[in-house]
Amino acid sequence: MRLIFLGPPGAGKGTQSELISKKFNIPQIATGDILRQAVKNQTELGVLAKKYMDEGKLVPDDVIINLIKGRLLGDDCQMGFILDGFPRTVAQAEALTITLKEMGLSLDAVVNFSLKDELLIKRLCGRRVCKSCGYNFHVYYQPPKEESKCDKCGGEIYQRDDDKEEVINRRLKVYKEQTYPLIDYYRQIGSLKDVNVNHLLKDDETDTDVEVVLAKVIDVLEG
Ligand code: ADP
Ligand code: ZN
């Protein structure tokens, strides 16, 4: 299965793609994670990407496109993959279309997650991540049992630099201007499947249940 998970920051595409990756045994290719790893390792890519990421801007298309082209050649992509956070611009989507065509492959679905801004901001502002295992916590919805310590592995919990409020607003603006047009791009191709998370909320106080969203994703993929 070859999938794209599309949606604004905070919509839950990372969480869901990880679960779907396990369920269908296909790799999750998260450009944000690859870039954060590169920043951590201070590679050439990481040094370049950091200045864009810290400001909530997109890393240049050619850099990301080359990264993905290389990654798709990996042996583990034979059975399929989930692209999480790529493409993010029309230029990236067009390059992907060409690359897949050259490889003789086609997409099975583009899952489009949507969620109201108010909740995206609330999720991102409160998000905390384990430095060791990457597990996501939330100061309000899902605090760790012990402060600053991961329940899963005991690792240190931190706030991503780009989850600070000023940067969040920039990321949402960048999403609207540069990534939102991809919804039309893929709707025209005919591979778009909508997951409107707003419809899965219980009430105004609680966030969605991860399992409820997962069931919906599986439903649109199998339906
Ligand atoms: P989120 O979806 O929560 O904003 P990601 O972890 O996917 O976060 O991405 C973090 C940052 O990495 C982005 O703000 C951007 O700077 C960079 N990035 C990730 N994917 C791409 C991409 N496809 N094109 C350009 N920049 C990207
Ligand atoms: Zn952990």
- The enclosing domain of 15 has a CATH number of 3.40.50.300
pLDDT at residue 34 is higher than 90 = yes
Range of the domain at 106: 2-26+79-116+172-222
pLDDT of residue 190: 85
C-alpha span between 100 and 65 (Å, rounded): 12
Entry pTM: 0.94
Q: Which atom of ligand 1 is nearest to the CA of 85?
A: 7
Nearest-CA residue for atom 7 of ligand 1: 32
Q: How far is CA 15 from CA 30, 40, 159, in A?
A: 11, 21, 17
> Are 111 and 6 spatial neighbours (Cβ–Cβ below 8 Å)?
yes
> Are 1 and 108 spatial neighbours (Cβ–Cβ below 8 Å)?
yes
pLDDT of residue 81: 98
Q: Report yes or no on 216 lying in a domain.
A: yes
Beta bridge partners of 193: 111
Task: Read off the pLDDT of residues 171-206 as tens digits, 9 standing for 90 and up.
Answer: 999 999 999 999 999 999 988 999 999 999 988 778
> Are 176 and 67 spatial neighbours (Cβ–Cβ below 8 Å)?
no
Q: Report yes or no on 22 lying in a domain.
A: yes
Q: Residue 103: which pLDDT band, with cuts at 50, 70 and 90?
A: very high
Mean pLDDT, the chain, whole residue set: 95
Nearest-CA residue for atom 1 of ligand 1: 9
The best mutation among 50, 51, 54, 162 to test binding of ligand 1, ranked by most ligand atoms within 8 Å of the C-beta, falls on 162
Q: Report yes or no on 65 lying in a domain.
A: no
Amino acid identity for residue 143 in this structure: P
Domains of the chain: total: 1
Q: Which ligand has the minimum distance to the alpha carbon of residue 163?
A: 1
Task: Read off the pLDDT of residues 42-95 as tens digits, 9 standing for 90 and up.
Answer: 999 999 999 999 999 999 999 999 999 999 999 999 999 999 999 999 999 999
pLDDT of residue 202: 87
pLDDT of residue 146: 93
Amino acid identity for residue 100 in this structure: L
Q: Per the structure block, which two tokens stand in for 86?
A: 């790529």
Q: Per the structure block, which two tokens stand in for 197?
A: 């998370």
Q: Which residues line ligand 1 (CB under 6 A)?
A: 9, 31-32, 35, 52-53, 56-59, 64, 85-86, 88, 92, 162, 171
Calculate helix-pair angle for 210-222, 13-24, nearest 10 degrees.
60
Q: Report yes or no on 164 lying in a domain.
A: no
Q: Largest alpha-carbon pair distance within the chain?
A: 50
* Percentage of the chain lying above the pLDDT 70 cut: 100
Q: Report yes or no on 135 lying in a domain.
A: no
pLDDT at residue 105 is higher than 90 = yes
C-alpha span between 223 and 220 (Å, rounded): 5
Q: Report yes or no on 34 lying in a domain.
A: no
Q: Report yes or no on 73 lying in a domain.
A: no
Among all chains, which residue has been given the structure tokens 């779907």?
20
pLDDT of residue 12: 94
Q: Report yes or no on 122 lying in a domain.
A: no
